[in-house]
A and B are shown apart, each in its own frame.
Chain A
Amino acid sequence: MENTAAIMPRIVTPVGPCSAAHADWASGKSAALPAKIRMTNVQKRFSVRGRPVEALGGITVDIADHEFFTIVGPSGCGKTTLLRILAGLEGMTDGSIEISRELASEASAVRPINAMVFQEQSIFPWMTVRDNVALGLKARGLSKRSRYAAVEPHICKVGLEAFADALPHQLSGGMKQRVAIARALANDPEILLMDEPFSALDEQTKLILEEELLRIWEETRKTVVYVTHSIDEAIMISDRIMVMSARPGRIKDVIDVGALFPRPRNMDAVKASPRYGELFNRIWHELREEVFASRAGIQG
């Protein structure tokens, strides 16, 4: 499809905790922590029936280790594409991504770099909940017994212990998404990539799962790159929010939510705060501008 050779993310394995690679990475707003993911001018061009479609117009940002980093943007601006590039499922047309691995030890040698929770329904209908959650461990060659033992706590964590042997068609939409999250967590990746994981769910289920996700994240503090179209959700769960422009996606704004609402967060307190309203409006206006801009672009 692409006319340029695909460029894949470069994985950097540091030799020690104070390696030189880390020292000069401490930059930007996430100054306190070293960058886990460093994207430099990431571009993506698709070719659709021979015509180039610019999906990403150059994304440069550092995502810190243990950060909950959220991306919002008008639909079609390249959010999914960016996550797929980070996941190694898609090559980039230009730019570079450096992902710094955790210290090379025996434990981290088998640890996957990322696991993705996809936007669409992605659990296997022919596998039980347990086998779905154990997918990554099976791929790593663990025996049935040890992988079942390893996934048990993750199945419990998302509250599906009673459904471990059920097939997905016996589950509700919210439960299926829980399975997808448990599958990603069970694989114990260094980076969790989540593409609008709750967008297909009803409002109540979504609220409950957001809270669960936040609780699980606070336990594990994995680096998360999270895509959502819900401003509210973004403010509730993120350390930082990146607002993207309409296609070709560029960075319009990066907001440090963590500075405004320190963790642990109380959802009700956040919502009651006047700063919440200001922040919501800021993002909303930015998004609205982009949506109008892209409409004008289509008409013009």
Chain B
Amino acid sequence: MSMQEARGQVVIMQPELGGTRGPSRRQLERVLSVGSPVALLAMWEGAAWLGKIDTRFFPAPSGIFQEFLTLLQGTELLRDVGVTLSRLAIGFLIGAIPGILIGLAVGLFGPVRAIVSPLVDAIFPIPKIAILPLFLMIFGLGETSKYAIVAVAVIFLVLINTASGVRNIDRIFLDVARNYNAGRMMVFWDIALPGALPSILTGLKLGMGIALVVIISAEFVGAQSGIGYMIWSSWQTLQVEKMYVGLMVISVVGFVAAMVLTLLERVLMPWKRGD
């Protein structure tokens, strides 16, 4: 009997039927990741209604949403969001584009590296927001000082990441360029730039994170408009719900900015997609 059993044992392998029968693991994970914030909001709402939390600090989400709708009726919120977005976008571009170009040159050319590296090493460690008073002094309270502080925050991260991206390009590619007599311009645009793109995008993402921190902090103290100003003035006037709307809006802005960069990554680097 045991003989027969041993001989008769067959392992049956079947194709995975997960896709057709019931929710797959991925679908489950998607439900969970939508569910967790919803559950948190529900608990928060319930706790606020039951008086378990201090609504002076943690107003009910429904109240915040109500405030959001009210603010949407007026022009103030839209103006503040628009102002912050334009400061972010313009400052980001002013920082990112030279950051990429200088970073490529630093990565490619020894003399440029020798000139730029010590400057970057000296200035990069300064928390960028510490330069704000100086910029307010130089550029005044207007938009220019906001662009400048965002640009400075962005440029270093982009420059450093770009340069290290160039340095990490496979040596073979530079050998090929040399063997085929590629000129400097061609090495710069056709080899260094695309070769360093993964690092450049990392730099842009890190830069965007810092840019958000810097612009909101700058608007706390040095502006009469923008989401940062809105959050700060709500605190001063104890409009807690409005402050939460500000936090909500800035989190959406951050989320969308990250998404845009991820999208950019997919468009610019089709060879990194496994298809």
A interface residues, Cβ below 8 angstroms from B: 84, 87-89, 112, 114-116, 118, 120-122, 124-127, 135-136, 138-140, 167-170, 187
Q: Known contacts A126-B194, A126-B195, A168-B271: does B180 contact A135 (CB below 8 Å)?
A: yes
**B5 part of interface (Cβ distance < 8 Å):** no
Q: A131 vs B177: C-alpha distance in the bound complex, in angstroms?
A: 13
Task: Write the chain B residue with the least CB distance to A114.
Answer: B179
Cβ contacts under 8 Å, A167 to chain B: 270-271
6 additional contacts, CB 8 Å, given A89-B179, A122-B172, A122-B173?
Answer: A118-B172, A126-B271, A136-B180, A136-B181, A139-B180, A167-B270
Which of B176, B183, B191, B194 contacts A118, CB < 8 Å? Answer: B176
Q: A122 vs B175: C-alpha distance in the bound complex, in angstroms?
A: 9
Whether A124 contacts B186 by the Cβ 8 Å rule is no
> How many contacts between A and B, using CB within 8 angstroms?
58
**B275 part of interface (Cβ distance < 8 Å):** yes
Q: Known contacts A138-B186, A139-B186, A167-B270: does B173 contact A112 (CB below 8 Å)?
A: no
The list of the 9 closest CB pairs from A to B, nearest first, reads A126-B194, A139-B182, A136-B180, A125-B271, A167-B271, A139-B180, A122-B172, A116-B179, A139-B181
Q: Known contacts A124-B191, A167-B270: does B183 contact A139 (CB below 8 Å)?
A: yes
Whether A124 contacts B173 by the Cβ 8 Å rule is yes
Cβ contacts under 8 Å, A138 to chain B: 182, 186, 190
Cβ contacts under 8 Å, A170 to chain B: 275
Cβ contacts under 8 Å, B183 to chain A: 139
Which of A115, A118, A136, A169 contacts B271, CB < 8 Å? Answer: A169
**B274 part of interface (Cβ distance < 8 Å):** yes
Which of A89, A126, A168 contacts B178, CB < 8 Å? Answer: A89
Task: Write the chain A residue with the least CB distance to B275.
Answer: A170
Whether A120 contacts B172 by the Cβ 8 Å rule is yes
Task: Write the chain A residue with the least CB distance to B186.
Answer: A139
Interface of B is mostly: helix
CB distance from A133 to the nearest CB of B (A): 11
Q: A187 vs B177: C-alpha distance in the bound complex, in angstroms?
A: 13
20 chain-A/chain-B pairs, Cβ below 8 angstroms: A89-B179, A112-B181, A115-B179, A116-B176, A118-B172, A120-B172, A122-B172, A122-B175, A124-B173, A124-B190, A126-B194, A126-B195, A126-B269, A136-B181, A139-B180, A139-B183, A167-B270, A167-B271, A169-B274, A187-B180
User: Which of B176, B177, B190 has the most CB atoms of chain A within a 10 A radius of its CB?
Assistant: B176
Cβ contacts under 8 Å, B274 to chain A: 169
Digitize B182-193: 1 where CB-to-A-CB distance is under 8 Å, 0 elsewhere.
110010001100
Task: Write the chain B residue with the least CB distance to A193.
Answer: B179
Digitize B142-165: 1 where CB-to-A-CB distance is under 8 Å, 0 elsewhere.
000000000000000000000000
Cβ contacts under 8 Å, B190 to chain A: 124, 127, 138
Cβ contacts under 8 Å, A126 to chain B: 194-195, 197, 269, 271
Q: Known contacts A126-B195, A138-B186: does B172 contact A115 (CB below 8 Å)?
A: no
Q: A73 vs B56: C-alpha distance in the bound complex, in angstroms?
A: 82
Q: A135 vs B174: C-alpha distance in the bound complex, in angstroms?
A: 13
Q: A187 vs B172: C-alpha distance in the bound complex, in angstroms?
A: 18
Which of A89, A112, A187 contacts B175, CB < 8 Å? Answer: A89
CB distance from A120 to the nearest CB of B (A): 6
CB distance from B196 to the nearest CB of A (A): 11
CB distance from A139 to the nearest CB of B (A): 4
Cβ contacts under 8 Å, A127 to chain B: 190, 194
Cβ contacts under 8 Å, B191 to chain A: 124
CB distance from B217 to the nearest CB of A (A): 38
Whether B175 contacts A118 by the Cβ 8 Å rule is yes
Task: Write the chain B residue with the least CB distance to A139.
Answer: B182
Cβ contacts under 8 Å, B275 to chain A: 170
Cβ contacts under 8 Å, B179 to chain A: 87-89, 114-116
CB distance from A181 to the nearest CB of B (A): 13
Task: Write the chain B residue with the least CB distance to A87.
Answer: B179
Cβ contacts under 8 Å, A168 to chain B: 271
Cβ contacts under 8 Å, B177 to chain A: 139
CB distance from A182 to the nearest CB of B (A): 13
Q: A126 vs B173: C-alpha distance in the bound complex, in angstroms?
A: 11
Digitize B62-90: 1 where CB-to-A-CB distance is under 8 Å, 0 elsewhere.
00000000000000000000000000000
CB distance from A162 to the nearest CB of B (A): 17
Cβ contacts under 8 Å, A118 to chain B: 172, 175-176
CB distance from A107 to the nearest CB of B (A): 17
Whether B271 contacts A135 by the Cβ 8 Å rule is no
Cβ contacts under 8 Å, A135 to chain B: 176, 180, 182
Q: A127 vs B173: C-alpha distance in the bound complex, in angstroms?
A: 12
Q: A138 vs B177: C-alpha distance in the bound complex, in angstroms?
A: 11
User: Which of A87, A125, A187 has the most CB atoms of chain B within a 10 A radius of its CB?
Assistant: A125
CB distance from A125 to the nearest CB of B (A): 4
CB distance from B208 to the nearest CB of A (A): 23
Digitize B234-275: 1 where CB-to-A-CB distance is under 8 Å, 0 elsewhere.
000000000000000000000000000000000001110011
Whether A140 contacts B181 by the Cβ 8 Å rule is yes
Q: A115 vs B178: C-alpha distance in the bound complex, in angstroms?
A: 10
Q: A217 vs B173: C-alpha distance in the bound complex, in angstroms?
A: 26
